[in-house]
Amino acid sequence: MLRYLSTRLVRALLTICFVVTFAFIILRLSGDPALLILSPDAPPEAIEAFRKSWGLDRPVWEQYFHYFAAIAEGNLGRSMRDGRPALELVLERVPATLALTIPALILKIGIGIPAGIYAALHRNKLADRLTMLFSVAGFTVPSFVLGLLLVLVFSVNLGWLPSGGQDSWVHGILPVITLGTAGAAVLARFTRSAMLEVLGQPYIRTASAKGLPWRRVIIDHALPNAAIPTVTIVGFMVGSLVAGAVVVESVFSWPGVGRLLVIAVANRDLAVVQTILLFVAATMVCANLTVDMLYGWIDPRLRTRRVAGAG
Amino acid sequence: MIGLTRRDLLKAGAAGGAVAAFGRPAFAQADNRPSITVAVQQVVNSNTLEPLREQSNVGYRIMPCFLEALIEQDLQRNLEDIPGLATEWKRIDERTVELVLRRGVKFHNGDEMTAEDVAFSFGPERMFGPAGGGGGDQKLFTGVVAGDTKDLPPEVIAVARRFWPSLDRVEIVDKYTVRFVNKRPDVTLEGRIGRLASQIISRRAFTEAKNWLEWARKPVGTGPYRIAEFRPDVSLTLVAFDDYWGGRPPIKQLRFVVVPEAASRINGLLSGQYDFACDIPPDQVDEVTKNPRFEVSGGLVTNHRLTCFDKNHPELRDPRVRRAFTHAIDRQLIVDSLWGGRTRVPKGLQWEFYGQMFHEDWAVPAYDPAEAKRLLREAGYKGGAIPYRLLNNYYPNQTATGQILTEMWRAVGLNVEIQMKENFSQVFDRGSPRGVRDWSNSALYNDPLASLVNQHGPKGQQQQIGEWTNAEMNTLSVELETSTDRAKRRAMFRRMLEICEREDPAYTVLHQTAIFTAKRKDIAWKAAPSFAMDFRAHNFKMNRG
């Protein structure tokens, strides 16, 4: 198990190194932070002074090695735009994003999984078709369209909810619904497919044939076997908790990590972008690791296979 | 008949006791002024409120709320110079202006503004940095930035030196009189004193700030509102400064909130969450005004949209080809179709508030496709491709304008190819040949030095990035900076317009920029003919119905 974990960790580190390098090259070659932060109308001397003071006038490879060495020492750098440490800026925004993404995740799981199971159990009936209709609509409508639509209905026309901002928990309702809807739709479809596949398996027929009540067949035999693909999707969703609300945060003027990322990329504020990417990569890696563990817990056959493979 | 129970009497007695115990009755303390929320695309670009670093149009919008200059521009009329923190000023000689300070002006920290503060505002600690220094160490994203100390960031020093290239000193004559002494003659001193980045700050507040960044996040000035809270990229909250020399501000709390999406700003306004929504796209104006509770204020500002040429491109070396570009554009059609007639085609790169320097009889090149075709024939243009680096609506209607321009150019035989770019450094990139690109030019004070020389002269962006240069233009630029003969200056400016817009086109003006602010109809407020928003008492009134 330890060997398995260490392999995963090494892979995770390599992934993070790749992400940092890739982002550095793309960001440094596609825009000049001095021009973007100070605006193209700033005096050329000011732009030159800014470049010099941040070392942007040095060769890119030198900038890269200097930056990489600093990261290795735990120094994630400073925002060229803000002047503050990038980590401080990002950490400041994380609670706001989690305030959206965690309730949205609960919403996704709370609606998506039961809806998928229900649709599978009522296959080809009206309930199934309606559930899938909403599901398809849920994940095909882009979140910015859904967000603006909700604002139009609940803010502009009905006046029930605020259209944006982060002043109170009420301000979070529409963004959470927007975020949750698409995720719930995806989960519903995956859960339905997984359930349908499992329900067609011989062991389900066997369980039914030996006289088990249908409810027990579903709970004891169908659900655990259908859980694997669903857990994978949920894992991805957990992995995107930190920066998975970029569009929604922009539509609802929600000051979270997503919006910070958009602004930092637009300004080529390297240290901030890299810090966010590191956070995302770390969250993804942790989520994947957790999902791997869960596989073994849900399906003991996988655990046995893994141990056998490792040995 | 009103029935009073013993319980009512007890309540009244308790209330009376509370009033006696806690001082003046509540109604005497009530502040009925409204709290106003303004939705903006961005509060500032550089995350600081220090005008020496924040040089953007969005920053200029909010600065007058809390910072003021000695000479102000009249935001309610045509930006003429009017007394600000100075009540009067006079020329001592060609290098010196003397200003008498307004008495009784308080900073937000309660200090009285004196000549000491004025001299400090234009001194090395706040503007120019140490003599010959101020470069700072190289940091490569990870070191200590200048903002961590009292040292000025190098770009701040560079901006100050650009705006005040030859300021010798600010002399304190007495507590309420100062003299700006230039090293060389300069007729634009008054204009520079009144421009963005020349605002007066509190010496004590600057000195007491822990570091430059702390200062730049909460500068202490004399404006009608003081900074209560600044959350970069989120909001700026200002509160009324009741000791304001210009009278009690009409708004108790003025909050600018960042709402990046135009649709979200409009929705927020219509739902009642915001009182003002800035930067409304021209095509959304009618959508807002359809609702009887809202209206749109705004219009022309001192900014023109241009198309610039890179004369190093093989196809653009011959000025006749560039001239063909300028004659192929039906500017009025663009104004009418994309702006609904809400802006205009200006008289070249100049504005009426230039006063004597304004050339009323100047005009942009006429729309004349036949002339454009003739020029191309004469130049022997064979249809070689000319790249047009275009940003995706960095300016309002930019992409649509770019597509229309391309078709107009194509109609006279110019083979222009649009290349979409993400940002200005990609537009400026010299890795492949540059041809045509977009820009906008502002004038922050009333002289061509503020625009034509500043942006197209030898130290201007266009020459600095190697797009264009012209020896005569460069000579004239230097002369215009130092000459004090007004008639000669006017003639020189005319010649510069001829060079840059006709003979050897550096750019061609498309149209004036217009900005639109949607707002509640029950608020009487008028947009200024500049990016600045004026929320002082003379320009804000709630019409309670």
Give the ipTM.
0.80
Q: State how far the Cα of A72 lies from the Cα of B142, in Å rounded to an integer.
A: 12
Q: Determine, for residues B273 and A164 on separate chains, whether the beta-carbon distance falls below 8 Å.
A: yes
The residues, any chain, with a CB within 8 Å of residue A62's CB and separated by 6 or more, are: B140
Across A123-130, average pLDDT: 89
How close is the nearest chain B Cα to the Cα of A178, in Å?
Answer: 14
Alpha carbon of B190 to those of B198, B256, B461: distances in Å? 11, 31, 24
pLDDT score of A1: 64
pLDDT exceeds cutoff 80 at A303: no
- B423 interaction partners in chain A (CB closer than 8 Å): 30-31, 35-36, 266, 268
Radius of gyration (Cα) for chain B, nearest Å?
26
Across A114-124, average pLDDT: 90
Q: Which residue of B has its CA nearest to A81?
A: B46
The lowest-confidence range among B34-38, B145-149, B499-503 is B145-149
**Cα pseudo-dihedral A30, A36, A42, A46, rounded to 10:** -70
Looking at B165, B194, B220, the residue that finishes a domain is B220
pLDDT score of A40: 80
Q: State how far the Cα of A206 lies from the Cα of A198, in Å rounded to an integer.
A: 12
In this structure, what CATH number is given to the domain that contains residue B192?
A: 3.90.76.10
| pLDDT digit string, tens, across residues B421-468 | 988 889 998 889 999 999 999 888 889 998 999 999 998 889 989 999
The residues, any chain, with a CB within 8 Å of residue B191's CB and separated by 6 or more, are: B81, B445, B446, B447, B449, B450
In the structure, what pLDDT confidence band is assigned to residue B12 with cuts at 50, 70 and 90? very low
pLDDT exceeds cutoff 80 at A3: no
End-to-end CA distance of chain A: 10
| pLDDT digit string, tens, across residues A13-33 | 888 888 888 888 888 888 888
Q: Determine, for residues B141 and A80 on separate chains, whether the beta-carbon distance falls below 8 Å.
A: yes
Residues B333 and B373 in one domain: yes
pLDDT score of B141: 53
pLDDT score of A208: 85
pLDDT exceeds cutoff 60 at A97: yes
Find the CB nearest A38 among B55, B460, B464: B55
Residue B233 counted as domain residue: no
Across B282-292, average pLDDT: 90
pLDDT exceeds cutoff 60 at B4: no
pLDDT score of A309: 53
Residue B353 counted as domain residue: yes
pLDDT score of B146: 54
Q: Is B379 helix (H, G, I), strand (E, B) or coil?
A: helix
> Is any Cβ of chain B less than 8 angstroms from the Cβ of A151?
yes
Across B159-187, average pLDDT: 92
Across A281-303, average pLDDT: 79
The lowest-confidence range among A37-46, A138-147, B491-500 is A37-46
In B205-223, which positions are buried (b, 16+ CB within 10 angstroms) versus exposed (e)?
bbeebeebbebbbbbbbbb
> Is any Cβ of chain B less than 8 angstroms from the Cβ of A302?
no
pLDDT score of A306: 57
Roughly what angle, to the nearest 10 degrees, separates helices B154-163 and A44-53? 160
**Mean pLDDT estimate for chain A:** 86
pLDDT exceeds cutoff 50 at B1: no
Please indicate whether residue A40 or residue A94 has the higher confidence score (pLDDT).
Answer: A94
Residue B235 tokens read as 């909001």
pLDDT score of A30: 82
pLDDT score of A242: 77
pLDDT exceeds cutoff 80 at A284: yes
Q: Determine, for residues A35 and B428 on separate chains, whether the beta-carbon distance falls below 8 Å.
A: yes
pLDDT exceeds cutoff 70 at B147: no
pLDDT exceeds cutoff 70 at B510: yes
**Superfamily of domain covering A98-255:** MetI-like (1.10.3720.10)
Containing structural domain, residue B48: 43-220
Chain A 91-110, residues with CB within 8 Å of chain B CB atoms: none
| Beta strands in B57-150, from DSSP E residues, in sequence order | 71-73, 81-83, 86-93, 96-101
Q: State how far the Cα of A48 lies from the Cα of B32, in Å rounded to an integer.
A: 49
In the structure, what pLDDT confidence band is assigned to residue B131 with cuts at 50, 70 and 90? low
User: HSE-up of B462 (CA within 13 Å, CB side)?
Assistant: 31
Angle in degrees, CA B196, B199, B200, rounded to 5: 175
Nearest residue to A237 (alpha-carbon basis) of A52, A116, A112: A112
> Is any Cβ of chain A less than 8 angstroms from the Cβ of B262?
no
| pLDDT digit string, tens, across residues B23-71 | 444 444 578 899 999 999 999 988 899 999 887 888 889 999 999 999 9
Q: Are B243 and B106 in contact (CB under 8 A)?
A: yes
Residues B95 and B1 in one domain: no
Across A260-267, average pLDDT: 91
- Give the best residue of B140, B156, B231, B306 to mutate against chain A (max A CB count within 10 A): B140
Residues B345 and B454 in one domain: yes
Residue whose token pair is 């007058």: B64
| Beta strands in B122-234, from DSSP E residues, in sequence order | 167-174, 177-182, 225-231
Residue B1 counted as domain residue: yes
Q: Which residue of A has its CA nearest to B267?
A: A156
Chain A 61-80, residues with CB within 8 Å of chain B CB atoms: 62-63, 66-67, 70, 75, 77-80
3-state SS track over A146-212: HHHHHHHHHHHHCCCCCCCCCCCHHHHHHHHHHHHHHHHHHHHHHHHHHHHHHHCCHHHHHHHHCCC
The lowest-confidence range among A229-243, B25-39, B470-484 is B25-39
Q: State how far the Cα of B520 lies from the Cα of B37, in Å rounded to an integer.
A: 11
Q: Are B16 and B37 in contact (CB under 8 A)?
A: no
Residue B500 counted as domain residue: yes
Residue B328 tokens read as 């192929």
pLDDT score of A305: 61
pLDDT score of A110: 94
Residue B375 counted as domain residue: yes
Residues B508 and B413 in one domain: yes
> Is any Cβ of chain A less than 8 angstroms from the Cβ of B147?
yes
> Is any Cβ of chain A less than 8 angstroms from the Cβ of B224?
no
Residues B149 and B21 in one domain: no
Q: Which of A45-49, B60-64, B141-145 holds the top average pLDDT? A: B60-64
pLDDT exceeds cutoff 70 at B7: no
Residues B318 and B417 in one domain: yes
Across B502-525, average pLDDT: 96
- A52 interaction partners in chain B (CB closer than 8 Å): 135, 138, 154
> Is any Cβ of chain A less than 8 angstroms from the Cβ of B150?
no
Q: State how far the Cα of B150 lies from the Cα of B206, in Å rounded to an integer.
A: 9
Q: Are A174 and A104 in contact (CB under 8 A)?
A: no
Residues B477 and B337 in one domain: yes
Find the CB nearest B273 among A81, A148, A162: A162
> Is any Cβ of chain B less than 8 angstroms from the Cβ of A120?
no
> Is any Cβ of chain A less than 8 angstroms from the Cβ of B232?
yes
Please indicate whether residue B239 or residue A39 has the higher confidence score (pLDDT).
Answer: B239
How close is the nearest chain A Cα to the Cα of B420, in Å?
Answer: 13
Q: How many domains does chain B fold into?
A: 3
Q: Determine, for residues A82 and B268 on separate chains, whether the beta-carbon distance falls below 8 Å.
A: no
Q: Determine, for residues A53 and B153 on separate chains, whether the beta-carbon distance falls below 8 Å.
A: yes
How close is the nearest chain B Cα to the Cα of A64, in Å?
Answer: 9
Percent of chain A at pLDDT exceeding 90? 29
Across B195-209, average pLDDT: 92
Residue B518 counted as domain residue: no
pLDDT exceeds cutoff 90 at A278: no
pLDDT score of B19: 41
pLDDT score of A302: 67
Chain A 270-289, residues with CB within 8 Å of chain B CB atoms: 270-271
In the structure, what pLDDT confidence band is assigned to residue A213 with cuts at 50, 70 and 90? confident
Q: Determine, for residues A44 and B259 on separate chains, whether the beta-carbon distance falls below 8 Å.
A: no
| pLDDT digit string, tens, across residues B361-420 | 999 999 999 999 999 999 999 999 999 999 988 888 999 999 999 999 999 999 999 999
Residues B132 and B213 in one domain: yes
Please indicate whether residue B507 or residue A229 has the higher confidence score (pLDDT).
Answer: B507
In the structure, what pLDDT confidence band is assigned to residue A34 with cuts at 50, 70 and 90? confident
Radius of gyration (Cα) for chain A, nearest Å?
24
pLDDT exceeds cutoff 50 at B16: no
> Which secondary structure element, helix H or strand E, spans residue B258, and what is its range?
strand B253-258
| pLDDT digit string, tens, across residues B102-126 | 999 999 999 999 999 999 999 999 9
Across B271-277, average pLDDT: 94
Indicate the domain borders of chain A. Answer: 2-72, 98-255
Residues B205 and B101 in one domain: yes
Please indicate whether residue B18 or residue A73 has the higher confidence score (pLDDT).
Answer: A73
> Is any Cβ of chain A less than 8 angstroms from the Cβ of B154?
yes
pLDDT exceeds cutoff 90 at B241: yes
pLDDT score of B84: 95
> Is any Cβ of chain B less than 8 angstroms from the Cβ of A54?
yes
In this structure, what CATH number is given to the domain that contains residue B466?
A: 3.10.105.10
- A49 interaction partners in chain B (CB closer than 8 Å): 135, 154-155, 157-158
Across A82-87, average pLDDT: 87
Please indicate whether residue A205 or residue B359 has the higher confidence score (pLDDT).
Answer: B359
Across B256-267, average pLDDT: 91
Residues B88 and B5 in one domain: no
Any alpha helices (H) in B68-221, and if so which ranges?
Answer: 115-121, 154-163, 189-193, 203-208, 212-217
Q: State how far the Cα of B211 lies from the Cα of B213, in Å rounded to an integer.
A: 6
Across A114-120, average pLDDT: 92
Please indicate whether residue B138 or residue B212 has the higher confidence score (pLDDT).
Answer: B212
**Mean pLDDT estimate for chain B:** 89
In the structure, what pLDDT confidence band is assigned to residue A308 with cuts at 50, 70 and 90? low
Q: Which amino acid is located at A278 in the chain?
A: L
pLDDT score of A311: 40
How close is the nearest chain A Cα to the Cα of B340, in Å?
Answer: 26
Residues B23 and B60 in one domain: no
- B139 interaction partners in chain A (CB closer than 8 Å): 53-55, 78
- What residues does B229 pair with on adjacent strands? B237
Q: Determine, for residues B142 and A50 on separate chains, whether the beta-carbon distance falls below 8 Å.
A: no
- A270 interaction partners in chain B (CB closer than 8 Å): 141
Residues B349 and B446 in one domain: yes
Sign of the Cα torsion A263, A264, A267, A268 reads negative
Residue B496 counted as domain residue: yes
pLDDT score of B28: 45
Any alpha helices (H) in chain A, and if so which ranges?
Answer: 2-29, 33-38, 44-53, 60-72, 86-121, 126-140, 143-150, 173-199, 202-209, 214-216, 223-239, 246-251, 257-266, 270-298, 300-310
User: HSE-up of B254 (CA within 13 Å, CB side)?
Assistant: 25
Q: Is B513 helix (H, G, I), strand (E, B) or coil?
A: strand
> Is any Cβ of chain A less than 8 angstroms from the Cβ of B271?
yes
- A252 interaction partners in chain B (CB closer than 8 Å): 264
pLDDT exceeds cutoff 60 at B260: yes
Find the CB nearest B261 among A44, A251, A266: A251
Q: Determine, for residues A82 and B271 on separate chains, whether the beta-carbon distance falls below 8 Å.
A: no
